[in-house]
Amino acid sequence: MHSESHSRQESSESTNITGSCLYDLLRLDTPTDWGFNENNGKTASSGPHGRLENLMSEPGNRFCADCGSPEPKWVSLNIGSFICIKCSGVHRSLGVHISKVLSVNLDEWTDDEVNVLTEMGGNTIINMKYEACIPEYYKKPKPDSSIEERADFIWRKYELLQFTNTDESLSCPFPYRSPPTHSNSSSLDMSSSGHEKKQNSVKNTQSHRSHWHAFRHSRRRKDSHDRTHRKSSLSAGMVEFIGLIKVNVVRGSNLAVRDMISSDPYVILSLGDQSVKTRVIKKNLNPVWNEQLMLSIPEDVPPLKLLVYDKDRFSTDDFMGEAEIDIQPLVSAAKASENSKTEDSVQLGQWVESKENALEGDGDGVFNMVEGKVKQEIALKLQNVERGVLHIELECVSLTQ
């Protein structure tokens, strides 16, 4: 009996080990920056990207805050919302002072950025603020809504703050004031002053009418101005995007002196109506940024412009040169290689220095496909300045990533 019991125990232990193999394998396959919380069976990460994934899994963050598209992969950091790729393009057109857009997968996140996003509360809390009072006649965009509908809604929601709940209510600028009450007086006093009151009433009515007409005309002028401003503000937001350009501003070399013996350089990137900039590096003519910035690529691909400035505290920033890149060849190479399954490094094309471009001789722009990604390293001679070279890396990213 003892032998049989011992045999059954060994068999039971063997069965348990076999049944747990899949669990053990799954634990082994878990990324190194993730831990496993056996108390609740949920994964929790100590790294920023892992914490970001946890935030995305919360119910309110599983859909775009603006149109409801599932599985949003983009974040407006200063607003605090998770948004889809289509709405992210409109957000970029608002400017980084309103909405700074980052990719969940493509951008490098810090713990401080994730902390800020966490404190804001996610899509549910954000929409309680920005969508507190959407009029019944105005419909929120849906996942299949046009770019025009998205642009109009996002512009009203975040720039004009039309749907936020404010204590101010619309009212007539010249409200009716009831006349003061008096104690009982003689009928003689009432009759003697009746004619005078009637004349004053007519004058007040005419005055109020003239003021009201003036107010209506001023409102019409303001509405007309708002419509004009709206068209110019939305023009960028209504552009269809075909992809993303990821720019790594690597370094500058032998830049121009704009202070006494040095400069405080930073770089501005612009693509169409979008613009982003790097941080300022103090007192350095050979600055190293290694800073990644991202812009949406419009359907009609414009050139990528780079401007370098010296930061001045008490005066206008000094110009330190500019350069322009035609990114259409890079976009075409990326499109041509979309269906490629090779993981080997492949050279797809090359730019050669000429009078028509700002390429530095030692940095001819070669298009390479590395691990399925189309990249290009370029050294650019800064134009309209005495000296300076800017080294950058470009990567064309599909909207599906």
Residue 184 has pLDDT above 70, yes or no: no
Tokens at 317, concatenated: 């920033």
CB–CB of 312/280 below 8 Å?
no
CA 9 to chain centre: 60
Instruction: Please give the DSSP secondary-structure letter assigned to residue 178.
Output: P
Tens-place pLDDT, residues 300-341: 899 999 999 999 989 999 999 999 999 988 888 888 777 666
For 164, list phi and psi in degrees, rounded to 5: -80, 155
* Residue 186 confidence (pLDDT) above 70: no
In whole angstroms, give the CA distance from residue 364 to residue 351.
6
Encode pLDDT of 249-264 as tens digits. 999 999 999 999 999 9
Q: What is the mean pLDDT of the chain?
A: 75
Lowest mean pLDDT among 131-135, 139-143, 292-296, 397-401: 397-401
Of residues 294 and 17, the one with the higher pLDDT is 294
Task: Report the phi/psi class of residue 163: left, alpha or beta, with left for phi > 0 and alpha for psi in -120 to 50.
Answer: alpha
Distance set, CA 375 to CA 198, 353, 371, 395 (Å): 83, 18, 10, 4
pLDDT of residue 188: 36
**What is the reported pLDDT for 177?**
36
Residue with tokens 């914490």: 51
For residue range 189-224, list pLDDT tens digits in order. Answer: 444 444 454 455 444 444 444 443 444 444 444 444
